[in-house]
Chains A and B, each alone.
Chain A
Amino acid sequence: MTEAAQRPVLGVIRRLGSINGENPPCKKAVQKIVYLIEEAGEDLGYDYGIHFYGPYSAELDYELQDLNARGILGIDYTPYGHLLSAPEASGNIKLGKTAERILRSYGAESPSRLELLATALFVERGIRAKDKKGIIAGVKKIKGSKYSDEQIENAVLNLQQNGFFKLEQASE
Chain B
Amino acid sequence: MPHYRDPVHGFIEINEQEQKIVDSPPFQRLRNIRQLATTYLVYHGAEHTRFGHSLGVMHLVTRTFDSITKKIPCLFRDDPEENDAVVQWYRQILRLIALTHDLGHAPFSHASETLFPKGRGHEDYTRDIIEQTEIAGYISEIGAGLQKKLGEQYKITPELLWMIYGENPEKHILDDDYIMPDFMFLRSLMDGEMDCDKMDYLLRDSKFCGVSYGKYDLDRFISSLTVYKDPDENIMQLAIEKGGLQSFEEFVLARYFMFIQVYFHRTRRYFDHLLGECLKEILPGGKYPEDVGEYLKWDDVEVLHAMKNKKSPCTDRYLRRQTMTCVRETSAHADRKEDKIFNIVCRAIKSGLGTGAVWTDKVDKAAHKLQPVLWEPNDDSGREIRVVDKHSGRSINIMEESLILESIAKPIRIDRLYVKKEDAPRAGAIIKSTCGE
Write the residues of chain A forming the contact surface with B, with a CB cutoff of 8 angstroms: 2, 26-28, 31-32, 48-54, 56, 58, 61-62, 65-66, 69-72, 77-82, 111-112, 115, 122-123, 126-127, 138, 141-146
Contacts and interface: CB of A to CB of B under 8 A. Distances in A.
B174 A82 contact: no
B201 to A, nearest CB: 20
Contacts of B181: 52
Given A51-B381, A66-B411, A69-B411, A126 B170 contact: yes
Contacts of A111: 377, 380
Contact of B234 (A52, A79, A82): A52
A52 B364 CA distance: 27
Nearest to A2: B336
B212 interface: no
Give the interface SS of chain B, mostly helix, strand, loop or mixed: loop
A50 B377 contact: no
A112 B234 CA distance: 15
B133 interface: no
B235 interface: yes
B350 interface: no
B380 A27 contact: yes
Interface in B138-196: 168-171, 173-174, 180-181, 184
B169 A144 contact: no
A54 B364 CA distance: 27
Contacts of A54: 380
A145 B231 contact: yes
Determine which residue in A27, A72, A115 has the highest number of CB atoms from chain B within 10 A of its CB, and name it: A27
Contacts of A65: 366, 369, 411
Contact of B380 (A28, A48, A66, A143): A28
Interface string B222-240: 0000000001111101000
B383 interface: yes
A78 B237 CA distance: 22
Contacts of A50: 169-170, 173
Contacts of A32: 380
Nearest to A66: B411
B316 interface: no
B174 A123 contact: yes
A79 B170 contact: no
A40 B168 CA distance: 21
B68 interface: no
Nearest to A143: B234
Interface residues on B, range: 35 or more
B180 A142 contact: yes
A146 B233 CA distance: 6
B233 A82 contact: no
B331 interface: no
Given A50-B173, A141-B174, A79 B374 contact: yes
B63 interface: no
Nearest to B373: A82
18 contacts: A26-B377, A26-B379, A27-B380, A48-B170, A50-B170, A51-B382, A62-B366, A65-B411, A77-B373, A78-B374, A79-B374, A80-B374, A126-B170, A126-B174, A141-B174, A142-B173, A144-B232, A145-B232
A132 to B, nearest CB: 15
A164 to B, nearest CB: 17
A62 B364 CA distance: 11
B137 interface: no
A144 B411 contact: no
Contacts of A51: 184, 381-383
Determine which residue in B173, B184, B383 has the highest number of CB atoms from chain A within 10 A of its CB, and name it: B173
A78 B379 CA distance: 10
Contacts of A58: 369, 381, 383
A21 to B, nearest CB: 19
A1 B399 CA distance: 32
Contacts of B233: 52-53, 143-144, 146
Nearest to B173: A50
Determine which residue in B174, B184, B335, B369 has the highest number of CB atoms from chain A within 10 A of its CB, and name it: B174
A114 to B, nearest CB: 10
Interface in B385-410: 399, 410
Sorted from nearest, which 4 A-B pairs have the closest CB atoms? A144-B234, A28-B380, A52-B382, A51-B382
Contacts of A71: 335-336
Contacts of A82: 371-373, 379
